[in-house]
Amino acid sequence: MSSEPREAGAPATLRQAAIEALRAADLDEKVERTNLACRLWFGRRLGLHAPHDPALPDRPGRPAEPVLVSPRTVKRRSVHTETGRIALIHALAHIELNAIDLALDIVARFASERVPRSFFDGWMTVALEEAKHFRLLSRRLESLGSHYGALPAHDGLWQAVEATAHDLGARLAVVPLILEARGLDVTPSLLEKLLEVGDADTAAILEIIYRDEKKHVAIGAKWFRFLCAREGRNPAQRFQELVRASFRGDVKAPFNDRARAEAGLTPTFYRSLSPLSS
């Protein structure tokens, strides 16, 4: 760690910095604290964790809006009208906001796990890129006369934290290798639709997100395989066990097998979990 003096009030550990960003209810502050945590960590100016670190919150900080509703009540979003595209971008921004907090949570919750320092390098990179995605989508909403928080959003993503809080392997199986991998499946067709209706600006943002998501799934697959190798387990079999135990939902086809494989997630992991597999 660097011997440079810390600024007054600056976090002393990565766990503290991640928790402070996780707790922030003001979303500009959340993004800034995430960026600060990354700068300090990659500048080797933080320890990993300490006994005096603040407590991990049960839920991340959030503003009063958007109103959170059941996923079943969120309307389908069409790209063929501006109103529909605003609703779509809002939904994507909500996903990316949750993704910031999911990355911060894995760093803070598992800071004492017996893993190499590069594990935390990977997840802080994810947090930094999710913050970039959220800011890009928020600015796109503003350019269309709306803003994040203007529409209801669902609370389904944070359930993954609660279901996998007990086990790093389960967290890796469910968050990057189920939830993020789903983005690899659906984003290419969504990009095509946006380009068909002439929304090149939103499509350009999704291109960035798609490229980064592939990296995030690869980080998840790398560390999931690391844990399995350390425990002497078959990665695909262990993945299926953990998903059946910790994921509340279907592993939905169709799959972008090529993008998934490029990220280290081969069909032997997920095909047998899909209701459509034969």
Q: How many Å apart are CA 95 and CA 156, to the nearest integer?
A: 10
Tokens of 161: 């934290």
Q: Is the pTM of this model over 0.75?
A: yes
Residue 45 has which token pair? Answer: 């100016």
DSSP assignment of 68-88: EE-GGGSPP--TTSHHHHHHH
Assess contact for 23 and 60: CB atoms under 8 A.
yes
Contacts of 141 (CB under 8 A, 6+ apart): 86, 89, 90, 93, 147, 148, 150
With DSSP H G I counted as helix, E B as strand and the rest as coil, what are the percentages for the chain, rounded to 5?
65, 0, 35
Query: Omega of the bond prior to 254 within 30 degrees of 0, cis?
Result: yes
Cβ proximity of 251 and 277 under 8 Å: no
Task: Encode the chain (278 residues) as per-residue pLDDT tens digits.
Answer: 444 445 557 899 999 999 999 999 999 999 999 999 999 999 999 999 999 999 999 999 999 999 988 777 776 778 889 999 999 999 999 999 999 999 999 999 999 999 999 999 999 999 999 999 999 999 999 999 999 999 999 877 788 888 999 999 999 999 999 999 999 999 999 999 999 999 999 999 999 999 999 999 999 999 999 999 999 999 999 999 999 999 988 898 999 999 999 999 999 999 999 876 54
